[in-house]
Structure 1
């Protein structure tokens, strides 16, 4: 036999939702990083009476990112400089949320990387000639900034500076010698790097011979025996100075002039045909000879001698049987007296071949 009691009514209400739990597992608090680093923020989130719907990662109040599936993480790339407080906020399937204890990290400025620089021209061991012009070129780069300037040096002497790419300097009128060229690149933060040196050799320029020409007399000029001739020449040297100009008759040196205008006076010309040249010598000892100028010197027409009877005087009177001395003066401007003949009318009285010229008529 069974008996049922009177019913008792009970009410079962929903259990209060428990908030999830969340902890940041990496990085650890007070971690230090360098500007530009990448870090992975990881967390563990659990919910005893439900499921985790999402985990949000914050820098202060700024949302960095969200992950909806375990393991919960966010990759923060290219970290800026500063101190940051990171938290993770877990939300469960019923909307309850919990924020983790904050993790503080420090991001310090990245050490400045020095720039890189290379001379691209000229090549090392290049050879040039005195007076040449060269363009020194380089490539300069900076991975974490910009190039402020590139200085070009010969040993420790600054040649020039370029502040914009392509970086170069034109070195003009090269002197003689061996030179070690470098390029120094400086970045926007003041870090500098010096390139490997490039050694060049500048040799002496081959000496250019002087130029010389006789300006007077002209070739085939005619002169008379005994004339005076002024020989003039023009001499120049493109890479130096004229030291002297020698004047020649054939191989015989006539004279030398060491200052412009260059000339030589040839006096009392002898008879003949002559080939005249001028030889110019520069300050480095290089000489050049002019084209020859040919002149012709002909014999001078003979001038007749002059003669005068000095005694007796005209209209003198003598007595039969007297003796008299006939004397004379004879001269020749272009030669010598060979003899003096004394005459009575057309009759030869006598001859004298030496001065003083006379004849005794007895």
Structure 2
């Protein structure tokens, strides 16, 4: 068996590829051989800043929550999929702190919830950028027959986009503007197209994501074209850049009475945006945070081909080149979704349509 290599964040600008002990699963955990792992913006933040928002790295932590693989050993308590099952991973765990109420049908809003690869709590919740990991069986979703693991690796970020687009309500026949065509924005384009949007316009600062947006079926526009964005008059705007100028552009690009979904996570603290415009044009501003069970719908849509998301994958690098993969993923001018590959990627069976 190969060494259990992992991508571990130790501190700001200190991420290492290192060997881990073999996983020791709890009774309700399965051992999974990871095949692919997608690098997320939060992984980059832990590497570059030692923190992702208010989640500060205080001890070494395995990165990664966008993962797929194959069950090596099923959970001892009999829960979850059997050995040999190809699985995607829902990385969230609901948590009630006993104080802050939240809707029972929206566990993504639970105040004490955890997420794989998150430093929000101590001890940190380790991620799964490792050759072999132990994961709660309740997190595992069987991958439909015929769907290759490589494409299934998009299930988690696509579920984020699916949830965000869903926050706008009915999309069929509506004009949609996507602010920021990075990986999540690109997936939002794919989801909006799947949901029947009549027209999709996307903005970005860089030529590479604009070209990807067009490949996915959107009309691309430079993010600096303020007059052009204001003239879109979109029924729905998906703000996926997570920047203050991006949110201002989203408000300006919405039609009167339109909806702006704040999918990109803004920096902590107060920010300045044109709220008077949002008020006088009666815009609906709605937040979007992670997802609930949309990953199941995403896997089905990826499997039947109705969700065309494959072009979002731009690079694949082995775990041994993890640091180079991070470098690529941080450069939005040349990359979209960067995947780490693990030994199990070479053994993917049953992916033929």
Q: Same fold (TM over 0.5)?
A: no
Which structure would you say has the larger Rg?
A: 1
Q: What range is the shorter-chain TM-score in?
A: under 0.3
More helix by proportion, 1 or 2?
2
User: Structure with the greater relative contact order (CA < 8 A, sep ≥ 6): 1 or 2?
Assistant: 2
Given the two structures, how large is their TM-score scaled by the length of structure 1?
A: 0.14
Given the two structures, how large is their TM-score scaled by the length of structure 2?
A: 0.14
